[in-house]
Amino acid sequence: MDQRVVECVPNFSEGRDKAKIKQITDAIQAVPHVTLLDLDPGADTNRTVVTFVGDPDSVAEAAFQAIAKAAQVLDMSQHHGEHPRMGATDVCPFVPISGVTMEDCAAIARRVGERVGRELDIPVYLYEAAASRPERKNLATIRKGEYERLAEKLRDPEWKPDFGPARFHAKAGATVIGAREFLIAFNVTLNTRDKALATDIAFELRERGRVARAATGSNYYSKGKILTYQENAYPCGNCDFIARTFVETVTHCRDKHDYDLENLLRLNDVDPSRPLAGQKVYRAGKFTHCKAIGWYVDEYRRAQISINLTNCKATPPHLVLEEARRLAALRGLVVTGSEVVGLIPYPALLEAGSYYLKAQGKSAFVPIPDVLQTAVFSMGLADVSPFDLRRKVIGLPREFDKGLVTMTVKDFTDEVSRDTPAPGGGSVAALAGALGSALASMLAILREGKTESATAAAGLLQAAEIAQRVKDQLVLAVDEDTNAFNAYMEARRLPANTEQEKTVRERQMQDGLKAAVRVPHQTARASFEGMQAAWTVVQHGNVSSITDGAVGAQVAYAGVRGGVWNVLINLKDITDAAFVHEMRDKCDGLLRDAHALLTQVVAHVDKRLAELIDKE
């Protein structure tokens, strides 16, 4: 099962002709495992922004198909619009959402770019994290001159495309492909209608900061006299420090406030290499990758700090919110909540939930829906508009919305008891492993804050993390085991009339069998991790809960044993001797370790119980 999620946000140079736009989105949706999330056509810009997600390979395929379709149905020589552009598919960024790195997305960008150049003869430039050289990082730089001057640009050796011919493609123009971070549009709502108060906080938060002023004693910053650099007097904008030279102030800002003053000046359109006497002093904001302004929203009848976060890994929204809350309190204001415009990546919301749980002294290794709910409540995300996790969060793990795992315990037990071959021992083994891990998780969370020993606390924390992870994995395996034979059954239905058909059918059946072996093997491995977590909690738990841990280890052992049996029964029809041998070895080792661990747990628990009974 692939839980890796990549987002793709191509911009097409057509925002008016719905039929043409539909042809492009149809090409995207024709690719399996791709979900179209959003379509944003602009008539004035004559441009459409499309958002879709999926696993890396599917997203790469859909992006290529969309670029090919756009090259076929759009004609740049006829295009007019207000937005800068140079191609039918103007720009196509890949964005890591979960389970993938920026480098993975840059690799996808290069792969798609190479294919677009080779198969479609369209010049391709790589940008941002996929850029081939520093001067091609910035999209605006690459696009300078736009479509109208592209032919000229392609003749310049400096602008030889990264892929495709250095030859003008009149119909499709050129395409800029790359990888970048996710953009979060995040608004913090205040208990005021005064936009100026929101702006005062926004300027403290944003990377480019604001013009520095002399202190007035007010918490609002807009009143004091504007500071300027003088010959022999270079004040720091963030404290009272004044140096005799600019160089000293640069060093001071780096050492004391952790920012690059020259970069700050450039962000405010001041060239630091020129004489600075008479020039305004700037005060850096708190966060990098953060743009912010104040505005008033009529619909909410409140002012907001409107924030754009261009890298939520470096600057997570919950930390910006907490700083806004602090700054608001200093100014006699209250943050009533926050708002995500568009989508927020799942890992960012998960991180926020963990942050607030830890701040409350609670374990962050609780069921994922609880962590996410904590984030929504703590950030006040439903303050001014509804916040539906399924609609607002991108890359949410597959919901348990269908299949065996949505049944009641009674219905599932009845289903197993019926005279149908599935669900059978494999699904039951996975459920046993999940329940054993759940018991280990319960005890780990209960004991985590109560132990005095640092080693025990670290062990319990790790056990809690492992138990939650393998529990979720094993719950999914309940259905996966029942579906594991699908590929094999499909292969069996293939025709076998000719020798060639027979060969294809046999190979696909063998592949299906191998897939069917991997699911129970994963079940056995995950269940063993659940057993290890149970052993940790049995050692550090108190006597009253020791039997819960013992039950956890015992049923998780059933998960290991059951998984291994299901591997072995399916190995008998696999002809690849090396695969069979390797799998047998893995199972033998797993079984040996699990059996030894179970013996250890049982002996430990029985000894503790005997001591307890003797005492009474």
The residues annotated with a catalytic role in the active site are 83, 481
- Taking CA atoms, 516 is separated from 332, 367, 429, 478, 565, in Å, by 63, 28, 15, 13, 13
Which residue stretch of 239-247, 325-333, 401-409, 511-519 sits at the interface with Zn ion (rule: CB under 5 A)?
A: 239-247
Beta strands in 366-506 (DSSP E): 393-394
Nearer to Zn ion, 124 or 284 (CB): 284
User: Residue written as tokens 């119980």?
Assistant: 609
Nearer to Zn ion, 51 or 238 (CB): 238
Nearest to 55 by CA among 110, 116, 1: 1
DSSP 163-192: BS-SS--TTTB-EEEEE-PPPEEEEEEES-
Enter the tokens of residue 387. 């916040």
Site string for Zn ion, 187-226 (x = CB under 5 A): ----------------------------------------
Enter the tokens of residue 228. 């300027």
| Amino acid at the residue 418 | R
Nearest to 87 by CA among 11, 153, 140: 11
Which residue stretch of 138-146, 235-243, 333-341, 389-397 sits at the interface with Zn ion (rule: CB under 5 A)?
A: 235-243
Closest distance of CB 252 from Zn ion, Å: 6
Is the Cβ–Cβ distance between 123 and 174 less than 8 Å?
A: yes
Closest distance of CB 265 from Zn ion, Å: 15
Which residue stretch of 103-111, 238-246, 298-306, 512-520 sits at the interface with Zn ion (rule: CB under 5 A)?
A: 238-246
Using the rule CB under 5 A, which residue among 226, 239, 458, 612 binds Zn ion?
A: 239
Is the Cβ–Cβ distance between 130 and 110 less than 8 Å?
A: yes
List of residues 6+ apart from 240 with CB closer than 8 A: none
Nearer to Zn ion, 236 or 376 (CB): 236
Is the Cβ–Cβ distance between 148 and 69 less than 8 Å?
A: no
Nearer to Zn ion, 111 or 257 (CB): 257
Taking each helix axis from N to C end, the angle separating 543-571 and 425-448, rounded to the nearest 10 degrees, works out to: 150
Nearer to Zn ion, 199 or 238 (CB): 238
Which residue stretch of 23-31, 240-248, 325-333, 505-513 sits at the interface with Zn ion (rule: CB under 5 A)?
A: 240-248
Nearer to Zn ion, 16 or 213 (CB): 213
DSSP 266-297: HHTT--TTS--TTPBPEE--S-SSEEEEEEEE
Which residue stretch of 7-15, 228-236, 347-355, 460-468 sits at the interface with Zn ion (rule: CB under 5 A)?
A: 228-236
**480: β partners:** none
Is the Cβ–Cβ distance between 445 and 545 less than 8 Å?
A: no
579 is a contact residue toward Zn ion (CB under 5 A): no
Site string for Zn ion, 32-51 (x = CB under 5 A): --------------------
Closest distance of CB 285 from Zn ion, Å: 14
Residues in the chain: 616
SS3 letters across 341-382: ECCEEHHHHHHHHHHHHHHCCCCCCCCHHHHHHHHHHHHCCC
User: CA 561, 563, 569, 571 torsion: positive or negative?
Assistant: negative
Distance of alpha carbon 330 from the chain centroid:
34
334 φ, ψ (degrees, to nearest 5): -125, 135
Closest distance of CB 195 from Zn ion, Å: 29
Site string for Zn ion, 68-107 (x = CB under 5 A): ----------------------------------------
Site string for Zn ion, 329-368 (x = CB under 5 A): ----------------------------------------
Site string for Zn ion, 248-287 (x = CB under 5 A): --------x-------------------------------
Closest distance of CB 241 from Zn ion, Å: 4
Q: Which of residues 508-567 bind Zn ion (CB under 5 A)?
A: none
Which residue stretch of 27-35, 122-130, 233-241, 451-459 sits at the interface with Zn ion (rule: CB under 5 A)?
A: 233-241
Cis peptide before 520 (omega within 30 of 0): no
Using the rule CB under 5 A, which residue among 241, 296, 300, 400 binds Zn ion?
A: 241
Closest distance of CB 235 from Zn ion, Å: 8
Using the rule CB under 5 A, which residue among 45, 175, 238, 249 binds Zn ion?
A: 238
Closest distance of CB 236 from Zn ion, Å: 3
Nearer to Zn ion, 257 or 362 (CB): 257
Number of residues that bind Zn ion (CB under 5 A): 5
What 3-state class would DSSP assign to 12?
strand
Closest distance of CB 243 from Zn ion, Å: 10
Nearer to Zn ion, 281 or 526 (CB): 281
Enter the tokens of residue 534. 């149970």
Closest distance of CB 212 from Zn ion, Å: 10
Nearer to Zn ion, 24 or 236 (CB): 236
List of residues 6+ apart from 307 with CB closer than 8 A: 185, 186, 187, 188, 202, 205, 206, 290, 291, 292, 317, 320
Which residue stretch of 122-130, 234-242, 290-298, 439-447 sits at the interface with Zn ion (rule: CB under 5 A)?
A: 234-242
| Amino acid at the residue 386 | P
Nearer to Zn ion, 22 or 256 (CB): 256
Closest distance of CB 257 from Zn ion, Å: 6
User: CA 452, 454, 460, 464 torsion: positive or negative?
Assistant: positive
Closest distance of CB 253 from Zn ion, Å: 6
Q: Which of residues 299-318 bind Zn ion (CB under 5 A)?
A: none
Nearest to 194 by CA among 291, 292, 297: 297
End-to-end CA distance of the chain: 52
What pairing do the DSSP bridges indicate for beta strands 344-345 and 393-394?
A: parallel
Using the rule CB under 5 A, which residue among 28, 70, 212, 236 binds Zn ion?
A: 236
Nearer to Zn ion, 243 or 422 (CB): 243
Nearest to 128 by CA among 183, 170, 76: 183
Closest distance of CB 280 from Zn ion, Å: 16
Distance CA 341, CA 321 (A): 15
Distance CA 151, CA 169 (A): 8
Nearer to Zn ion, 206 or 283 (CB): 283
- Chain contacts with Zn ion (rule: CB under 5 A): 236, 238-239, 241, 256
